[in-house]
Chain A
Amino acid sequence: MVDNSGYKEIEIDALKEIGSIGGLHASTAIANLIKKDVMVEVSDCFIAKAETIPTSFGDREEIVAGVYLDAYSKGKGCMMMILPMKMAVKLSDYMTGRQHHEPWLFDEEDYSAIAEIGNICASSYLSAISKILDHVMLPSPPGVAVGMLGAILQYPASLVAEMSDYIVAIRTEFTIEDTRYPGFILYIPDPVSQREILEKLGVV
């Protein structure tokens, strides 16, 4: 079970709300791009030790596509988009107008398509939050990886472990109308932005 480690219930709700706002903007951006419906679930907020990130978000041996971006504001947070392989291939097909067949091979073009989708998602997610915070938030250029979920999530885990002990991760799940498996967006705000978000929403 997640221990709240000093966070009040209302603060966690506020962080979840940020995930919903950001996630909805991001999903609208994808929906406009691929002209399909994108459904967003209610977001979750995890507060845990950094080393638990790789095992907290599903089967760690599942092969997924992940996009990683730094979220620059006053501090440096992390943005991740994790897509199950079938969904990644579908998204890339919708975007590039190609058609993949059985072995679902993931080539260079798919890599850049997924990087672009991650970039668009993260930019709209962060610009939504930056309107609340009243200062600019920008993502770095995206990095894409295909591999085991646990292995991919080790990268943000070790980055945030260098900065702080406990991390706050805001997860927003989304599905595209004809795929059944959900992908998710993960936002790990740095401590400075975290405090700012809570102050702006008036819960501290």
Chain B
Amino acid sequence: MTDDVRNGNGLVRPQSNDLLQFTPSMTCKNEIIVGVAEFYTVPAPQMLMCIGLGSCVGIAIYDVRAGVAGLAHAMLPRFDDGKDKQNAAKYADSVIYVMVDELIERGATKANLRAKIAGGAQMFQFISSDTLNIGLRNSDVAKETLKKERIPLVAEDVGGTKGRTVRFNPTDGSYSIQIGGEYSWI
């Protein structure tokens, strides 16, 4: 127990973990804030959070039995169409591949992985509707890639015109979604 840190809620966070890198965007409580074009994988008591998902999509992949989960905040649909090849976490398809690898490295079993996605809203109401809908493309590519990777998509909350703030709890796999002042769980 001496190696662990107890935070205010009495939850234990393992200290000696190579995969968990502390960055400035991480809060010191038990929630990690996943920024745009980032992803994190964590062991169970740690919570994950995305603030302000607009057209971006928040992809949560988890294994409740092994107690690990990852949350990605992807900005663009396809890695192949993108300009920046340095950061795989930017794209909805490549981030899933990378995150699944890291989850398996943390002890998850591929067959037990489940996924939930949220986001992909179309924020702007355009008078001309021919503008390409990035939010819809993001969520479509995420769903397609999950299907290709044979990870069952348990629940989704995509589309709409409002931004979302989401929290993922790896302990029970619950995904709380806040739109404006309203909360819902999927």
**A and B: interacting chains:** yes
Q: Which of A144, A148, A158 contacts B165 (CB 8 A)?
A: A148
Known contacts A141-B127, A158-B55; A51/B90 CB under 8 A: yes
Number of CB contacts from chain A to chain B under 8 A:
107
Quick one: closest B residue to A140, CB to CB?
A: B128
User: What's the Cα separation between A60 and B19 when bound, in Å?
Assistant: 28
The 8 A CB mask of B86-110 against A (1 = contact, 0 = none) is 0100100000000000000000000
A37 at the interface (CB under 8 A from B): no
For residue A105, give the distance in angstroms from its CB to the closest CB of chain B: 13
B76 at the interface (CB under 8 A from A): yes
> B127 to chain A: which residues have CB within 8 Å?
115, 141-143
Could you say which interface size class chain A belongs to? 35 or more
Within 8 A of A (CB), among B50-74: 51-56
Could you say which interface size class chain B belongs to? 20 to 34
A4 at the interface (CB under 8 A from B): no
Interface SS of A by simple majority: helix
Where the two chains meet, the residues of B that have a C-beta atom closer than 8 Å to any C-beta of A are 35-37, 51-56, 75-76, 81-84, 87, 90, 121, 123-128, 131, 134, 138, 161-165
Where the two chains meet, the residues of A that have a C-beta atom closer than 8 Å to any C-beta of B are 49-52, 54-55, 60-61, 66, 68, 111, 115, 140-145, 147-155, 157-159, 161-165
